[in-house]
Structure 1
Amino acid sequence: MGDGKIGDPPGFFPPRTNPHHMKKASFPFMILLLSMAYGLDVWAQEGVIRGRMLDAATGEPLMFANILVVGTNPPLGTETDMDGSYELRLPPGTYDLRASYVGYQDQLITEIRLEAGGVEVLDIALKDAGVQLEEVVIAAERFDHTEVALLTLQKKALTVQDGISAREINRYGASNVAESMKRVTGASIVDGRFIFIRGLGDRYSNAQLNGLTLPSTDPYRNSVHLDLIPADFLDNVIAAKTFTPDQPGNFAGGNVNIATQNFPERFTFKASIGLSYNTQSSFRDDFLSYEGGSTDWLGFDDGSRAIPSLLTDPAVLSELTSSIHLRARSDENLADLLNRSIKSLSPQLAPTTSRSFMDHGASISLGNQFLLGSNPLGLLVGFNFNKSYNFYDGGSFQNWELPGPGAEALNQDRDLVLQHANENPEVGGFFNLSYKIAGTHKLSYTALYNHNADKAATELSGPFPLILSGGELESRALLFKERGLFSQQVRGEHLLHPESGIKFEWGASHVRSEQEEPNLRFFANSRTVNSDGSSSCVIDQSEFPLPFYYWRDLQDEQWLAKADLSIPFLQTKSKANKLKFGVQYSDKQRTFRESRFQIQNRSNDAQDYGCDAQAYFGDANRGIVGYDETRNRYLFGLYVTNEFIPKNNYDGSEKISAAYGMVTYDIGRLRFVGGARLERTELLAQSLDTSRAVGRIQQTDLLPSLNLIYPLTDKMNLRLSASRTVARPNMREIAPFESFEFIGDFKLWGNEHLRQTRIRNFDFRWETFPKPGELLALSAYYKGFENPIVIAFIPEAANPQIRFENVNRATVYGLELELRKNLAFLLPQLKKFKLAANFSLIRSDVDMPATEAAATRELNPEKGTSRPLFGQSEFLLNTALNYQNPERGIDALLTLNVFGERLAINSFVDPDVFEQPRPELDFTFSKRLNERFSLKFRAKNLLNSDTQTTMEYRDVQYSILQYRRGRSFGLSFSYEI
């Protein structure tokens, strides 16, 4: 059994569900603002020149630098603001500009052509004057700085970090943050949504939106569902791999900051639409599905899956016990209640088939920057919709077990055929409003909404050991899972003292995340083929659970506020010298509810299951099926009982208070970045069964950090880092109740005695930036864990059970290599080709829990008493070959992504289960047809490698789960202003 679900066939054993419906969010006010943004530009008669002025060496903005229009009388000009940004509004014409700043070489930019209503974006990089004070003259040209700016940011960062720019995300064809992060050095994505950095995921990685922490939408994980955040609205995504005190202290792998777009450079409008054909999922007539609601196509339940109102009445629920069919035989009111309760539930418990379509999607976004009064106002708004289909049949799901100590081979425990289909619709919206006041103050509001759903149907069939009659298992699950994220942020930056550069920054956010699973249905039976070729089907509670319905709902609400004060000092020695102080407080409240109703057949009046699900669960066999006039009592077919368990529902809270101080100080060429963060954790989880113990953590941690940066040259750095961080259990893990896991029907227990994990981090990095947009970097790291949290088996339990436990220690260490290089150094004819590659080699080791280690030494000594961390790949490889020909509007990209073997399920005594490498080869070709229209072709998963998990025993591989995803070929069309 494992602390993840990578190898689980969807819905094989019952997940849980509950009765609330996802709240929808909308942005009606955006339409008015869009009209304003567009209208102000349409009627403008002047043109606009805007951009930023930067230090050419550091990429830092130059505040209050001068921009003058040459040859005007009286002189026209402006100065940059706190972000180094400037704006000039001028009549149509051709202009020369002079940029100047104290201590830097002046720069003259010539032949800037400006049209009425047009916008020209001009970023200016000034060089330090040194001993040379003459003016530099250049001709105006459009400068694509996105990727270069990201590498410049990486070069001058105080931490070891890697990232991906918006332009790269678009080039890769990624639709969300999860797909984007697969391309980042040392990062991998598990289950399509959870990020692992340097082999560390879940509690060891943190995610932020514009510097403000995001909560998880999964009751079993700390990780944020990164597939919930669309890529259309991003500026960049950066993973900080070393800790500084101004970051949250609860990470070891990486702190991922997702930066959304802010001030658009000019009026922008983009609309796109696309279709994609999958060789395995598109246009199938046998696509598994079931009858849902009218808004399933959008990913929202329309209410048809809600718990029937009758089954929310406490008085009714108290009557729906296992004996109701006996008590209701002679009680008209109870008989009527029994009849209405079972018939209020959907009779469909087995999937049907329908015809699937192609994957498809559309997006639209607008933005502009204009003056409100005399100050710039930036506006961005966007919407997106995507829907995908996934299908595989003939998949294999097997299990193997060790028959005894010293066995020569494993025995097969089950051999099932898997068929699975999933529809995944997604809708999202983004809104950003930013306003600058007097060049020294900036206010921003950002709203991000995303909602997606999985409408899935699964069938499993084959030999199963719990069927004592020797028949085969037939298992079905119908699932609808909605996930939603609605984040609102307000942020401010204030230059309190322009002369000294003292800056105050603050931010506050409210995030609501939800996950609900309404009306999950599970139904299993055994099937025996008779000698005459007919089949006999039996539903036997002693062999597997009776058919049931689940409703499950998770609601998280988080409020967060932070403030930072930066105070430059000794600026005559170095402009980098700075003191920084800050505070942060977050309060997350969680409610988790589940309801379960089980179908019973304990009356001789009900039909036996005759291999026809539609007839067995039809109204003729449910509730009242007749009346015995002789004995004056009702005859009942199937009926439903309330299986609500109070202990399996809980409320929780997580309150984190933090304060920090840090200093950046240059000692000659050596940059020292050091300080400490004080974090107070108050974590609480309490079951609705008040007789249960309360899970609680109250702890204060001092987290020191040291980063040393030594520039060997202007283009080359050495970095050293040491720090201490923590990892916290989530509320589910400290809530002392049991729930069903998805494989093998294990009971999973929380543990109110869990402790936080303390982590020691050491990093080394050498990096060089030969030319703009190029990079070569080598990193090494080591991490030591005290009290890491794992899932452990409970050997003394009568039936297989697992729980969360702390073990003594774990270690992770590894190497990373990254290269970004233009290939012109090989041949001048290759100047339009770029190669990007990164490779990570990772090793980890975590102790087994003591009871499991003792049993393993006795029954399977070949296994050892430690294992890798869950989800940690032993290597990661990303390569990308890019061809860009701007003159012809062509951009082509070939990418290869491979992860090494990684732990999927940790078993008790039996060999552990590992997910095997699955190379992914993708190709993207974009062609700009003219100034407005472009076409993009994308081929995904060209190798169509198996998704496979295996056990290994005595050098023999035993397959557990195996299926293929199919190849996809897509075409999208976009219009852009």
Structure 2
Amino acid sequence: MKQILLLLALTLSFTALAQKGTISGTISDKSLNNEPLPFANIVIKDTTIGVNTDETGKYSLSIEAGTYTIQFSFVGYETVEQQVTVTAGQTVTVNVSLGAGSYTLKDVEIQATGNREKETALLVEQKKAVEIKQSIGAQEMSRKGVGDVEEGLTKITGITKVGSRGIFVRGLEDRYNNLLINTLAAPTNNPFKKIIPLDLFPTDIVGVIDVYKTFNTNIYGDFAGGTFDIQTSIGNKSVTRISGGVGYTTNNNLEDFLLSDDAKTTEGFFGFNGKDRELPALLGNSPASHTFTPEESKKSFKSGFNAHKTRSPLNSEISFLHAEKFNFKNDAKFSYLFSLNFDNSYSIRSGVDRTLDFPSTGFIYITDFKKKTFSYKTSTTSLIGLNYSTERLKLTSNTLFIKTTDNTIEDQFGNTSPGQGNRLIRTNQLDRSDYLNTQLLGDYALTADKNQNLKAGISFAMTKYQQPDRKSFEGDQSSMEDSQITTNYGTFLRQYLTVDGNYFVSGMAEYSLKFGNKDKQHKLSVGYDGSINDMETSYRFIAGHTSISNPNPGGFTTNLNSIDTQINADLASNNFYFEENTGSTYKVKLREMVNAGYGNVLLKFADKWEVNGGVRLESSNRETKLRYQGSQTAPFHTKKYDNFYVLPSVNIKYLATEKANFRFAASKTYTRPVIMESFPLTYLNPDGTSVQGNPILKNSENYNSDLKFEIFPTSKEIFAITAFGKLLQDPIERAYIRNATSGRVESYLNSDNAKLFGVEAEA
């Protein structure tokens, strides 16, 4: 019976196969001497049946016998239709050559389509675009083994990663960069950085990263180094994947390591520690000079000063991805994507930290430390993406959540001042951030021929950055390797910093019109971009004090990593107490607003010249509310900084040959400071130094120019060389000020100007 069923199944299978035929062939590119065109589209007209060409331009499509109209198309190229008759059991060969068509300008600006993740498609887009822009897609990042966006960007010419300072573009640091997520402005998750650290974006959630090294009127005027536009992934195919891995870094993993007690728990491993570090509830929302009783200290401070000595394990990561796509009638499509990623890493950094002074007798070290830092980091990232599209409408909803922790134990050993050596400063710190960003975007073709389009988007984000119970103390030690320390309670300090991003709202809208007598090759765009950022801080201090009744007022000697035993005994004996010492400047409120309108026109002349020019009118407003030294309940003082900018931009492209272009770009832009650079808050470091924001810091104004030559030997290759120059008026610079009472103060000032010139090559 089984043999009969098998024979019947095979007969049915062969019968089904015999009723089908095959269409196959090669698609070539007219503009590149008929070289193969990868990832072109082949679709049976009025159906959802179709395939793409492979990397050699070949395709094969199996279909029922009959007569069909086949559509051949590619991003930025004409669509060709051809009628084909398919005979059962036979193969029909259809070779087609595609050339640039009337939809080039539209297609160059399409964001986050499936083909844009392919290397070859992005190279074609780069060749045909007027602006100077580079992109890296999911395919290239996967091929190069890239794990996150930051690593991916370093594969682009002119972009480097400089340690903990993040991404540098053409020698300009984080302050001069800007970040968009799906063309919408995005807040930072860390007020000490201009943009979100890009290593928090795993490649699982990224489709394409667009990098603008030149300014265009449709991106924000806060531009000098580069603007990164992260286009998140869409569910363009059905997939469910669970993956994991471990990593080893020399001198970091499987080494002696220090962790705070709350970080060595299961919650700490997964980045959910910090609850035991919260500000004691009895202090409330407003500071007061409250002195803690021994019983209050026992109940309020659930996290101590101990450090746990262990061995650092391997770094690890795990991710889950699920996506599904559905096709409906009338070419309607719906897809969704869910991604969840977790990773952790251990690092050990050793070095020196020195402050120099230059009196008339020669230079001296004000401070001279050897420094060793143990850091355990975690990050959790989740993306939910929903996409719906028809022939004329595209709707996208994205919700992005990022949670990070950084647990550090840092030792500084050396001279805290000239002549005062063998001092050790121990810092036990947790940096924690939560980031939630929800977006809704739409793109609608107002006319059937798609010559008029309207796109719009809005996002709402909330952020929270904390350094809860940042603990520090110092004392005498014979060497950095000594396990004993002699200290006194007057050096013990707990800091509680919270920066609440109450809301960050961003919006954009753009209308575009393609015009021209023949193939609508010109384009006019007008649009709006805007954002509003509302945030406030709370910065509280609790200091240790030696009681008058303490029998050892000069201090005590104990084990450095198990100091809580001595602390708890002295608290119980009333030899030591904690007291809040928060000043009136603990709370600062900030509101930043940007509103901009722009117009842009793209013109093509004589099949050789393309000119893209426009102007952006942008207002940038900053309102800061603060209290000066004095009463903690005094009214806030308000400082306003308002600017209005006229920002012109021009991009010119000359098609020297079918494979070579010359490009020129010039623009005016400006740069806003990092949040903490303009925040009137004094951030105190355990070594006595401090960082103080400058509320009257001005935006810098930038003048940019680029000249580029590029050649595309094949559809997969490029060679380019670019010369660029920048003039920065009122650039923002870090400055150091001597303070007799609190040591070195780091602040930020505007200098007169700065000039930057460079050459970069790409191959």
CA apart distance, 1:524: 0.9
Distance in 2 (alpha carbons) for counterparts of 1:810 and 1:285: 45
Residue identity matched to 2:400: L
Contact kept, 8 Å, 1:615 with 1:621, in 2: the verdict is: no
Q: Deviations over 1:607-663 (max 9, x none)?
A: 4322335466546534351xxxxxxxxxx2110110222314211111111111110
Q: Deviations over 1:833-887 (max 9, x none)?
A: xxxxxxxxxxxxxxxxxxxxxxxxxxxxxxxxxxxxxxxxxxxxxxxxxxxxxxx
Contact kept, 8 Å, 2:529 with 2:596, in 1: the verdict is: yes
Distance in 2 (alpha carbons) for counterparts of 1:267 and 1:435: 15
Which residue in the other structure is 2:647 paired with?
703
Contact kept, 8 Å, 1:765 with 1:777, in 2: the verdict is: yes
Distance 1:92 1:367, change over 3 A: farther
Contact kept, 8 Å, 2:727 with 2:755, in 1: the verdict is: yes
Of 488, 495, 512 in structure 1, the residue corresponding to residue 445 of structure 2 is 495
Which residue in the other structure is 2:345 paired with?
388
Distance 1:447 1:571, change over 3 A: farther
Of 275, 279, 289 in structure 1, the residue corresponding to residue 250 of structure 2 is 279
Residue identity matched to 1:738: T
Contact kept, 8 Å, 2:614 with 2:649, in 1: the verdict is: yes
Which residue in the other structure is 1:399 paired with?
354
CA apart distance, 1:591: 1.6
**Secondary structure of 2:395's aligned partner:** strand
Which residue in the other structure is 2:719 paired with?
776
CA apart distance, 1:601: 1.0
Residue identity matched to 1:205: N
**Secondary structure of 1:603's aligned partner:** coil
Mapped pair 1:537 → 2:490: no
Contact kept, 8 Å, 2:289 with 2:582, in 1: the verdict is: no
**Secondary structure of 2:195's aligned partner:** coil
Of 551, 561, 586 in structure 1, the residue corresponding to residue 496 of structure 2 is 551
CA apart distance, 1:449: 1.5
Of 378, 383, 387 in structure 2, the residue corresponding to residue 425 of structure 1 is 378
Residue identity matched to 1:773: K
Contact kept, 8 Å, 1:622 with 1:637, in 2: the verdict is: yes
Contact kept, 8 Å, 2:609 with 2:653, in 1: the verdict is: yes
Distance in 2 (alpha carbons) for counterparts of 1:535 and 1:365: 49
Q: Deviations over 1:569-591 (max 9, x none)?
A: 1151x543000000122111112
Of 233, 250, 271 in structure 1, the residue corresponding to residue 205 of structure 2 is 233
CA apart distance, 1:540: 7.9
Which residue in the other structure is 1:666 paired with?
604
Contact kept, 8 Å, 1:683 with 1:696, in 2: the verdict is: yes
**Secondary structure of 2:549's aligned partner:** coil
CA apart distance, 1:603: 2.1
Mapped pair 1:268 → 2:239: yes
CA apart distance, 1:260: 1.2
Contact kept, 8 Å, 1:692 with 1:736, in 2: the verdict is: no
Mapped pair 1:643 → 2:591: no
Mapped pair 1:202 → 2:165: no
Which residue in the other structure is 2:261 paired with?
290
Mapped pair 1:516 → 2:466: yes
Residue identity matched to 1:397: V
Residue identity matched to 1:816: E
**Secondary structure of 1:524's aligned partner:** strand
Q: Deviations over 1:537-586 (max 9, x none)?
A: 23385xxxx111122112222111110000011151x5430000001221
RMSD over aligned Cα, in angstroms? 3.9
Of 764, 785, 794 in structure 1, the residue corresponding to residue 707 of structure 2 is 764
CA apart distance, 1:397: 1.6
Q: How do 1:653-692 and structure 2 match up within 5 A?
A: 653-668=591-606, 669-689=608-628
Which residue in the other structure is 2:398 paired with?
446
Distance 1:67 1:418, change over 3 A: closer
Which residue in the other structure is 1:610 paired with?
557
Distance 1:640 1:762, change over 3 A: same
CA apart distance, 1:733: 3.2
CA apart distance, 1:387: 1.5
Q: Deviations over 1:35-55 (max 9, x none)?
A: xxxxxxxxxxx99x9xxx998
CA apart distance, 1:686: 1.4
Q: How do 1:447-462 and structure 2 match up within 5 A?
A: 447-462=399-414
Question: Which protein, 1 or 2, shows the higher relative CO under an 8 Å CA cutoff with sep ≥ 6?
Answer: 1
Q: How do 1:78-117 and structure 2 match up within 5 A?
A: 98-99=70-71, 106=81
Distance in 1 (alpha carbons) for counterparts of 2:461 and 2:603: 36
Residue identity matched to 1:399: R
Distance 1:738 1:339, change over 3 A: same
Residue identity matched to 2:709: W
Distance in 2 (alpha carbons) for counterparts of 1:519 and 1:624: 21
Distance in 1 (alpha carbons) for counterparts of 2:705 and 2:530: 27
CA apart distance, 1:209: 0.7
Distance in 1 (alpha carbons) for counterparts of 2:715 and 2:202: 28
CA apart distance, 1:285: 5.0
Contact kept, 8 Å, 1:606 with 1:621, in 2: the verdict is: no
Distance in 2 (alpha carbons) for counterparts of 1:125 and 1:453: 54
Residue identity matched to 1:269: T
Distance in 2 (alpha carbons) for counterparts of 1:364 and 1:528: 50
Of 434, 439, 443 in structure 1, the residue corresponding to residue 387 of structure 2 is 434
The 10-residue stretch of structure 1 (480-489 or 746-755) with the greater mean CA deviation from structure 2? 746-755
Which residue in the other structure is 1:747 paired with?
690
Mapped pair 1:713 → 2:657: yes
Q: How do 1:114-129 and structure 2 match up within 5 A?
A: 126-127=98-99
**How many residue pairs are counted as aligned between the two chains?**
694
CA apart distance, 1:189: 2.2
Contact kept, 8 Å, 1:202 with 1:222, in 2: the verdict is: yes
Distance 1:616 1:267, change over 3 A: closer
Which residue in the other structure is 1:801 paired with?
745
Distance 1:290 1:488, change over 3 A: same
CA apart distance, 1:472: 1.1
Contact kept, 8 Å, 1:300 with 1:482, in 2: the verdict is: no
Which residue in the other structure is 1:578 paired with?
523
Distance in 2 (alpha carbons) for counterparts of 1:664 and 1:490: 28
Mapped pair 1:813 → 2:757: yes
Distance in 2 (alpha carbons) for counterparts of 1:522 and 1:111: 79
CA apart distance, 1:797: 6.8
**Secondary structure of 1:296's aligned partner:** helix
CA apart distance, 1:56: 6.7
Residue identity matched to 2:534: Q
5+ residue gaps, structure 2, are 1-19, 52-59, 103-113, 629-633
- TM-score normalised over the length of structure 1: 0.65
**Secondary structure of 1:694's aligned partner:** strand
Contact kept, 8 Å, 2:484 with 2:559, in 1: the verdict is: no
CA apart distance, 1:406: 7.9
Which residue in the other structure is 2:130 paired with?
158
Which residue in the other structure is 2:326 paired with?
370
Distance 1:724 1:347, change over 3 A: closer
**Secondary structure of 1:295's aligned partner:** helix
Report sequence identity in percent: 22
Q: Deviations over 1:358-410 (max 9, x none)?
A: 11111121222212565211221111111211135xx3425363554584xx5
Q: Deviations over 1:873-902 (max 9, x none)?
A: xxxxxxxxxxxxxxxxxxxxxxxxxxxxxx
5+ residue gaps, structure 1, are 1-45, 70-74, 81-87, 115-121, 131-141, 325-335, 626-635, 820-977
Which residue in the other structure is 1:830 paired with?
none
CA apart distance, 1:430: 1.3
Q: Deviations over 1:59-118 (max 9, x none)?
A: 9x9xxx99447xxxxx978999xxxxxxx999778998622689765568999999xxxx
Distance in 1 (alpha carbons) for counterparts of 2:78 and 2:484: 90
Which residue in the other structure is 2:221 paired with?
249
Contact kept, 8 Å, 1:651 with 1:688, in 2: the verdict is: no
Distance 1:77 1:489, change over 3 A: closer
Q: How do 1:61-80 and structure 2 match up within 5 A?
A: 67-68=43-44
Distance in 1 (alpha carbons) for counterparts of 2:446 and 2:733: 48
Residue identity matched to 1:708: I
Which residue in the other structure is 2:682 paired with?
738
Distance 1:606 1:199, change over 3 A: farther
